[in-house]
Structure 1
Amino acid sequence: MSLDYIFSISGPMLQGAKMTILLFFVAIISSIPLGFLLTLAVKSSFKPLSWLAQGYIYVMRGTPLLLQLLFICFGLPMLPVVGEYLVLDRFFAASLGFILNYAAYFAEIFRGGLLAIDKGQYEASQVLGLSKWQTTVRVILPQMFRIALPAVANESVTLVKDTALLYAVAVPELLHFAQTAVNRDFTIVPFFVAGVIYLAMTLVLTVFFKWIERRFNFQ
């Protein structure tokens, strides 16, 4: 297949990649803070809140992301009485599904980061006269994020690949344009082009997180 053909299909596919990138940023910016709040809820001394957060994490991690997307996009409008008020814009609905799903995974990552911190850190902070708030902000959270960073990086790369699930809920992203070109031209070349674009996005993300990790290690 000629380079002219590759260039001709790359334009629409890069347009689709913009939707992929937009979803990634919306999901990552929203799900990380939500995941941290879920971690705090799990560790809360108020048991009903802790149980509710644990139940939420269990459900979101125990069911497929695709099922959750289909439920939010197509299932919510079918609910009796309230369904007509739950008809959401397709991209917004998909973004909501990704945010809710990935928040549960980030919550577990942050919980693991907290568990990895030696209890001596808390005792040393008390000896230094730090308040509970100062201990959390100045001692615990920086260490937690440093420990959790590799797992956050890995989950972020997975998020880039999972954006292909937008295809299943009819949001025109990268894979949608690749499949359209395959059906129209009867060639698998668009799939290879899509693969290269995904690899480029994950490479940029991997390099970025490696840089972040080096910054943390030097501090």
Structure 2
Amino acid sequence: MDIMAMTAQLAEGFLVTVQIFVLTLLFSLPLGMLVAFGRMSRCKIIKLIAKLYISVMRGTPLMLQIIVVYFAPYYMFRMKMGPSYRFPAVIIAFVINYAAYFAEIYRSGIESMPNGQYEAAQVLGYNKAQTFIRIILPQVIKLVLPSITNETITLVKDTSLAFTISIAEMFTVAKQIGAAQTSVMPLLAAGIFYYVFNLIVATVMEYIEKRLSYYR
């Protein structure tokens, strides 16, 4: 296999990697906010459920969670999902895992806001929803963005765990090509792809941080 053919196959795997990355962020960021609200809820049952969820998701390996999400429908409900369920299973596992981490990041940011912010909003006539959306949330986003950036960069590398259930993302494709050619070159090429993707994500997040800093 020549370099062009190998690059083309790696590019196909790279597209799958990008899909996992984008879909995970798209769903885990808002889900993390909902879990954070549950974690801070005054209802003890909701708070306990959210706390347990976060503890389990952060305390068990992502690889194990992928396996559980993929095989659980069959072993628990005898539902045969088929190979087409592999990609959705990966997305579900990644989303529920990263939502737990984002929830704790959001919670730390929200709880760090001084009470004076809420009191000032109340004086101005804002209700709780308006206070959070217009005053608290913009400040929280600026505050937690560095932590979210770290998790986002970690996500780039974690996408390789999709190989656990034979998703043909870039790492899996590189291993298959390397095994066929008895060469490490495909893995090295995949490493370059990951590095470049990681660099692009880090640059974008840094740009967003700088733009938001103008409004402080």
- Shorter-chain TM-score tier: over 0.9
1:21-43 residue CA offsets vs partner (Å, 9 max, x unmatched): 01111111001000000011111
Distance 2:54 2:172 in 1: 30
The correspondence for 2:162, drawn from 144, 162, 166, is: 166
The correspondence for 2:33, drawn from 17, 21, 36, is: 36
Letter in 2 for 1:46: C
Aligned to 1:23: 20
Matches within 5 A, 1:58-137: 58-79=55-76, 82-84=77-79, 89-137=85-133
Percent identity between the two aligned chains? 36
User: TM-score, length-normalised on structure 1?
Assistant: 0.93
Q: Which blocks of at least 5 consecutive residues in structure 1 are unaligned?
A: none
Distance 1:85 1:115 in 2: 44
- Cα offset for 1:211? 1.0
- Cα offset for 1:86? 5.8
Number of aligned pairs? 214
User: TM-score, length-normalised on structure 2?
Assistant: 0.94
- Cα offset for 1:85? 6.0
Aligned to 2:188: 192
Matches within 5 A, 1:134-213: 134-213=130-209
* 8 Å contact from structure 1 (residues 6, 193) kept in 2: no
Aligned to 1:52: 49
- Cα offset for 1:66? 0.4
1:37-57 residue CA offsets vs partner (Å, 9 max, x unmatched): 001111111111111111111
Letter in 2 for 1:154: N
Distance 1:85 1:179 in 2: 28
- Cα offset for 1:146? 1.0
